[in-house]
Amino acid sequence: MNQRMFLLPALVVLAVTLALGTPGFTGQDQITDKGVKKRVALMFTAQGAVTTLTDMMAGRVAFQAGMARAAQRTLIRSSSKTVRHFRKPHFDPLSNARPEVWTHWTDFKARADASEQAAKQLNVYSLNGLRRTLPSMLQTCLSCHDRYRAKPNEFVTH
């Protein structure tokens, strides 16, 4: 019974990750620049983790500390790669990155670093802890997107 309770959520996370990470689902297949493709894939990976956590926080999915911790690890890993993926100014007509990313590099890097620290500070061991810490982490992501993303977010997770 315990294995079955763990297996179903793990399969759901896997399915969401595959769906969000598959080019046909994200429009990534139309992007020609490899650097931009990597950035988009990184952001979709983070989006999948955020969706897992916001669904738990909102009660759409039952809170499970193991799934929450896995999502947190994904966010930490993704946010730690943000600066590296944006260091070179790759361009593509379908990219949502504004040129200001590179003209205001120090600010962009500070916001990316703040996002990583916020992901590390998430309390994923209880629903109350998640509800208390997730909003500030989301705010760090959105502050960067508001300034450096050309299009508004097409999805709202909270």
pTM here is 0.76
pLDDT of residue 117: 98
Contact predicate 41/21, CB 8 Å: yes
CB count within 10 Å of CB 123 equals: 15
Residue-range domains of the chain with CATH: 2-87+95-148 (1.20.120.10)
**pLDDT surpassing 70 at residue 49:** yes
**pLDDT surpassing 90 at residue 22:** no
Residue 42's closest CA among 76, 3, 7, 82?
82
**pLDDT surpassing 90 at residue 48:** yes
Identify any residues that bridge with 97 across adjacent strands, giving them in sequence order.
149
Residue 95 has phi, psi (to 5 degrees) of -75, 140
Mean per-residue pLDDT for 38-61?
96
- Give CA–CA dist 91/130, Å, rounded: 36
Give pLDDT tens digits for 81-118: 999 999 999 888 888 899 999 999 999 999 999 999 99
pLDDT of residue 15: 45
pLDDT of residue 158: 45
**pLDDT surpassing 90 at residue 29:** no
- Give CA–CA dist 51/71, Å, rounded: 9
- Give residue 12's pLDDT band: very low, low, confident or very high (50, 70, 90): very low
Contact predicate 89/34, CB 8 Å: no
